[in-house]
Chain A
């Protein structure tokens, strides 16, 4: 069954990405992938794979939750939902009649948001009246639209895997189509950039509120993750989750969303990939035809917050009706620094494969945990080295934490063996060839574009594996000593409330 569209891809997705790679050749993508850039700055990457007459198209925009300001959290993700609502042609029955209703809705919506933001001084009766007014306008509005026509057109044409995802660092839109529908993809994707109509803006806030309830508030891992990030960062926007705070979701205004769109959805802030049974010349021709007339925009503003150095351990305990969970995080350097790779190698030695240190010792032998996973970040900005685990009863989250700390201490005191490094590099090399199987073209496009967005190099993951080979055991020890310190640590624990937690 098809999944619901517009899903959130949080950190978990990025972890999956880093483990499940597919590849062009031993040297990377460069010999298989052709790149060209339109005069407005939009870069295209074309990978011809003629085995099956299908292709995947993807547009990745360099905008994610990290680009959101306080009070507007979740806007990147909210906008992603808006991008499926059509244009003045797609989804319109009578746009001339629809337009004034949309404008009226915005006036009511602005009033409602303003009242909501008064917090506990908000006039509830006034809010109810405004909501009722919005609902009746929404009913009226429905007469002039063709519901979800974008989805309908893609589906009729054999579109599969139609979706979009928003992460901390980027937003991407993708679909797989039969290869003779290439022009359809160009038309629809360019039109939703040129002529987007923000339909159903206010009812979509309710959908996103449900999405938040489902993915964060009513799941143990979502809840813990949310609370953990809120204290692991004090200033940097990585502290808020992609879906945003409920309070912000309830008070988005059309003005904020339109500004966000105009600022970030510009051709020089996005990259596109076409992967599958297509011809380069045809892609070039259609790219020019459909995207060539979109004007270049001003470089978007970027986060100005630099996360202050942490000077003391931070802890949070949260409660849910579930078995305990543990998250530990250490601030670590960004992707351009050598220690980013050094810590990446350390994470593999710790938890990649059944024979890795944490899995072998804590899951298989001591049975303190049923799962344990370490990961180093490779994101647009410096982020966290994370360790996530689930203790096995009767061991507690604290027991697991203590056992993990012993392993981190061991990394500080004794050099890892060359055999462990060699094994990790073999695994990392093999992982470059990992295929997803289903929807390969989509994941290949995702991998290519992510390399470009994060590292400005489509072959970055290949080159990073080459760089891993230069890292010495002593460098790992030095990095462990520099970063795995108590004052640089944040710990999040989730406990079951009814039992009064663990003793």
Chain B
């Protein structure tokens, strides 16, 4: 059948043939059943980046990849929002951003931006909870110039006052816009209910706090938490490691690499009383539901095995119980999932879905039953097998790019994981059985002590929530910030 035949004939024949394919599967002779294809597990060893000490307190992680003429660089500093005083929330983020936004002693902010844009390079700096990063991306031909700018930012920040005003005003506006998306309202408030308003993982910027921050605070934060502190440098891409190491030795000759300040952080405890919480958003046609309690520590003895539990509960896409029941079988939601999260002190155990207002009660009940079942009954042999095969065969994707290899290694180390964590990963996965999954559920999930947050139209959901019998329904005000 070639296109040189007359058009109508092609059309007619094509339709007949296509119809045959669609409606008469038996007409197709090729292999049809994927289960007839047999594959062995891919033998793949965890990849490790190169590591070298530049000097005391300055460590270099690297992986060359010369396919593209580009270089990614990252400087990780052991500071973040954990290090902010309680009346200056937002200080770490402002300080990190001002490193670049505020210009340097030789480059005005305008000139700095102009220079990077002209090179087609980018430099970004941001604060995390415990660690903050300065990132660089450049064509390798422009690396030298871009690197000079980065060092200038790190060594000689000028903290321009006009730019400080701009950055603060951006923060104040982002407070105004914080709850524009109902989903971010749900997630933010759920986090607050779990950890409590003042816990590092949950606390957020306020107008008062941002307004209180001065340029002197920024300079002091830089002096105390960034300048001359311990850093980790990561390069991936089109460079040569020997040259890079030599460059770093030169670049950080005078950098002291001092240990970060010791800080005391509180231990997590479930802040809100278990029960149902409602935020009334009268304009919504959908209810956002988040439910759960505290999760586990990063270094929990089940920190690998919990991935099997999570896959079956809610991260395994259509193989997970939440997706299958809430979405696929009942059509109650497009987006749903859940997991026992790991964290610095404790992560969050959460289940979520977005469903039409009329089905909020049904969805909550269903999600609770799904969690409860995983604390009472062993998962099926089939569920276990799918989850384990997924972990074994998808392991290779953890190493899909040079950046993935490097940043994974750095953060595992920083978070205190043992050096053989990735090597031990698959052997541990292979040993997981249904009893282990059940034990995790019994230990880490408490279905009768869940905090259940609903963001939605009160008039349409309130009766459903009261009828649940899951504790009193507490209405929360829509927070101002």
Interface of A with B (CB < 8 Å)? 1-2, 4-5, 22-23, 26, 49, 51-54, 84, 87-90, 95, 142, 147-148, 151-153, 155-162, 176, 178-181, 183-184, 187-188, 190-191, 194-196, 200, 203-211, 213-214, 217-220, 258, 261-262, 266, 289-290, 293-298, 320-323, 352-356, 360, 363-365, 367, 370, 390, 392-393, 422-423, 426-427, 429-431, 433-435, 437-441, 497
B65: chain A residues at CB < 8 Å are 51
Interface size on B, residues (CB 8 A): 104
Q: Is A90's CB under 8 angstroms from B33's CB?
A: yes
Q: With an 8 A cutoff between CB atoms, is B315 at the interface?
A: yes
Name the residue among B19, B180, B335, B386 with the largest chain A CB count within 10 angstroms: B180
Across the interface, A433 reaches (CB within 8 A) one of B18, B68, B397, namely B68
B139: chain A residues at CB < 8 Å are 430, 433
A88: chain B residues at CB < 8 Å are 25, 32
Q: Is B18's CB under 8 angstroms from A180's CB?
A: no
A–B Cβ pairs within 8 angstroms, 26 of them: A1-B314, A88-B32, A155-B319, A159-B394, A161-B397, A184-B37, A195-B28, A205-B331, A209-B356, A210-B335, A210-B355, A213-B285, A214-B334, A220-B180, A262-B15, A262-B19, A296-B1, A321-B281, A322-B180, A353-B117, A367-B165, A370-B174, A392-B170, A393-B176, A437-B72, A439-B400
Q: Is B316's CB under 8 angstroms from A4's CB?
A: no
A51: chain B residues at CB < 8 Å are 65, 67
A289: chain B residues at CB < 8 Å are 30
- In whole angstroms, what is the CA distance A176 to B329 when docked? 26
Closest to A289 in B: B30
* Interface residue stretch chosen among B3-11, B83-91, B240-248: B3-11
Q: Is B34's CB under 8 angstroms from A188's CB?
A: yes
* Interface residue stretch chosen among B39-47, B52-60, B430-438: B39-47
Closest to A290 in B: B30
- In whole angstroms, what is the CA distance A353 to B14 when docked? 50
Q: Is B31's CB under 8 angstroms from A180's CB?
A: no
Q: How far is the CB of B76 from chain A (nearest CB, A)?
A: 16
Q: Is A296's CB under 8 angstroms from B14's CB?
A: yes
B165: chain A residues at CB < 8 Å are 367
- In whole angstroms, what is the CA distance A183 to B38 when docked? 10
B30: chain A residues at CB < 8 Å are 190, 289-290, 293
A364: chain B residues at CB < 8 Å are 109, 163, 166
B173: chain A residues at CB < 8 Å are 323, 370, 390, 392-393
Q: How far is the CB of B402 from chain A (nearest CB, A)?
A: 8
Query: Given that A194-B28, A206-B331, A426-B118 are contacting pairs, would A89 and B18 also be in contact in the complex, using a CB cutoff of 8 Å?
Result: no
Q: How far is the CB of B371 from chain A (nearest CB, A)?
A: 16
Q: Is B396's CB under 8 angstroms from A142's CB?
A: no
A151: chain B residues at CB < 8 Å are 317-319
Excluding A148-B319, A296-B10, A370-B174, 19 further A-B contacts by CB distance (< 8 Å) are A5-B318, A148-B318, A152-B319, A156-B389, A158-B389, A159-B394, A184-B34, A194-B22, A209-B356, A213-B285, A218-B354, A295-B1, A322-B177, A353-B113, A356-B117, A429-B120, A434-B137, A440-B401, A441-B400
B29: chain A residues at CB < 8 Å are 293
Q: With an 8 A cutoff between CB atoms, is B119 at the interface?
A: yes
Q: Is B400's CB under 8 angstroms from A438's CB?
A: yes
Q: With an 8 A cutoff between CB atoms, is B17 at the interface?
A: yes
Query: Given that A180-B39, A218-B286, A354-B117 are contacting pairs, would A323 and B177 also be in contact in the complex, using a CB cutoff of 8 Å?
Result: yes
Total CB contacts across the A-B interface at under 8 A: 294
Q: Is B334's CB under 8 angstroms from A210's CB?
A: yes
Q: With an 8 A cutoff between CB atoms, is B126 at the interface?
A: no
B404: chain A residues at CB < 8 Å are 437-438
Q: Is B335's CB under 8 angstroms from A295's CB?
A: no
For B444-465 the 0/1 string (1 means CB < 8 A from A) is 0000000000000000000000
B315: chain A residues at CB < 8 Å are 1-2
Q: Is A90's CB under 8 angstroms from B34's CB?
A: yes
Within 8 A of A (CB), among B343-360: 354-356
Q: Is B177's CB under 8 angstroms from A295's CB?
A: no
Closest to B185 in A: A321
A180: chain B residues at CB < 8 Å are 39-40, 42
- In whole angstroms, what is the CA distance A84 to B19 when docked? 20
Q: How far is the CB of A333 from chain B (nearest CB, A)?
A: 27
Query: Given that A51-B67, A152-B319, A162-B317 are contacting pairs, would A360 and B118 also be in contact in the complex, using a CB cutoff of 8 Å?
Result: no
B176: chain A residues at CB < 8 Å are 323, 393
Query: Given that A214-B335, A298-B14 are contacting pairs, would A53 and B42 also be in contact in the complex, using a CB cutoff of 8 Å?
Result: yes
A370: chain B residues at CB < 8 Å are 170, 173-174, 177
Q: Is A157's CB under 8 angstroms from B39's CB?
A: yes
Query: Given that A90-B34, A196-B22 are contacting pairs, would A152 and B318 also be in contact in the complex, using a CB cutoff of 8 Å?
Result: yes
Query: Given that A2-B316, A155-B316, A207-B327 are contacting pairs, would A295 and B17 also be in contact in the complex, using a CB cutoff of 8 Å?
Result: yes
Closest to A211 in B: B334
Name the residue among A148, A162, A431 with the largest chain B CB count within 10 angstroms: A148
B114: chain A residues at CB < 8 Å are 355, 423
- In whole angstroms, what is the CA distance A109 to B369 when docked? 31
Q: Is B389's CB under 8 angstroms from A157's CB?
A: yes
Q: With an 8 A cutoff between CB atoms, is B96 at the interface?
A: no
Q: With an 8 A cutoff between CB atoms, is B469 at the interface?
A: no
Name the residue among A89, A159, A205 with the largest chain B CB count within 10 angstroms: A89
Across the interface, A87 reaches (CB within 8 A) one of B32, B118, B183, namely B32
Closest to B333 in A: A210
